[in-house]
Amino acid sequence: MSCSLLMKTLADLNLDAGYVASDSGNSFSLSSSSSRQSRSQVSSPPRGAWWQRAGSLSSRNGSWDTVVTAEDAGDLLTTCPYLPELEDYPWTDQELEGVLRKVAGAETYFTWDAVQRLSAYLRRAVVRIAREAQRLSELHKRCTRFEIQSAIRMVLSFGLADRCVSAAVEAVSLHCMSSGDAAQQQRRKSARCGLGLSVGRFFRWMVETGVSVRVHEYAAICLTACVESLAEEVGARALAAARQVGRAGSAESAQHTVGCGAEALDAAVNNDAELWGLLQNYEHLICGKNANGYSVNMQNIRCRGRPALVGADEEQHAQNDAQLASVSINTS
């Protein structure tokens, strides 16, 4: 028996019950697609050459960031490669519509165009998270809930990451509590986790796309809960913007149910600094700015784990935040 065959046999025997090994032959890469890059009509340089570009990009320390001038913003986006388009994604539009129906309630609704547009947005977000999880899983050749949660915190903003991680922990807890009940085990895994999207479809998608050599079921639960929580958050913000437009209208139109279409969803995403960069189809993650180039309010940004400050320390940190906000505005 050859050494490589022996190592593969030992690896198969050591697989945990919650893991499934992916078949590298049937998986496809999460890297940038060439068809999307050709659409920009420019040849994208290798990643190693990105960090050498300076001057017109207003880069700091030789790296790309979102501190660019309004004149150079268009040139920056045209040179960025595109994210790969997902033809097979781990949810259906009907399932996503059911998730949004819980957010909408009785007085509001989402049009079918808005559901399809949100589905396209979520595909970009799940590609970003899956690529980070794939990178974090490279060392130990396995993807667990810890890699998924770390990828969520790397890609999303502080507020969105906390909500998505909390939803993931809640889903895993519900799944663990229902494991000892024989009646609960007869139900679908999504129902046991309290989720509307299919956990099994996410698990199969992670295996087929080759996120890692071994994928744990808790990783699929966490990714499913993250995508569902993100869909609810985007839908809630779009509905809030649609309600404000309805209140600004006539009193007669305010009495009817408020509908959120694709245009209202696009407007809400474009005006939100936490969502716009995340949901764009550019490989470069644009953080802290909306579609108009305005920076996020620096007073709303707080590092996790910073203790409460009183007295002179609080005044000093307030001055630092004000200076940081002024610097961000001046460089925009």
HEC-encoded secondary structure of 252-291: HHHCCCEEECHHHHHHHHHCCCCCCCCCCCECCCCCCECC
Q: List the single range of 65-69, 117-121, 159-163 with lowest mean pLDDT.
A: 65-69
User: Domain for residue 197, yes or no?
Assistant: yes
User: Domain for residue 35, yes or no?
Assistant: no
Confidence grade of residue 73 (pLDDT, cut at 50, 70, 90): low
Mean pLDDT, residues 21-31 taken together: 55
pLDDT tens readout for residues 195-220: 999 999 999 999 999 999 999 999 99
pLDDT tens readout for residues 33-64: 444 444 443 333 333 333 333 333 344 444 44
User: Domain for residue 192, yes or no?
Assistant: yes
pLDDT tens readout for residues 115-135: 999 999 999 999 999 999 999
User: Domain for residue 38, yes or no?
Assistant: no
Q: Which of 98, 297, 308 is nearest to 195 (CA)?
A: 98
User: Domain for residue 183, yes or no?
Assistant: yes
User: Domain for residue 103, yes or no?
Assistant: yes
Query: Tokens for 31?
Result: 């890297």
Strand partners, 19: 216
Percent of the chain at pLDDT > 70 equals 61
Alpha carbon separation from 75 to 40, 64, 68, 161, 224 (Å, rounded): 11, 13, 10, 30, 36
Q: Structurally, how many domains does the chain consist of?
A: 1
Mean pLDDT, residues 136-141 taken together: 94
Domain limits at 106?
A: 93-270
User: Domain for residue 14, yes or no?
Assistant: no
Mean pLDDT, residues 10-33 taken together: 54
Query: Quick one: pLDDT at residue 327?
Result: 47
Output the domain CATH number for residue 143: 1.10.20.10
User: Domain for residue 196, yes or no?
Assistant: yes
Mean pLDDT, residues 6-23 taken together: 56
pLDDT tens readout for residues 251-292: 444 456 778 889 999 999 999 999 999 999 988 888 878 887
**Residues 6 or more apart whose Cβ sits within 8 Å of residue 189:** 175, 199, 200, 217, 221
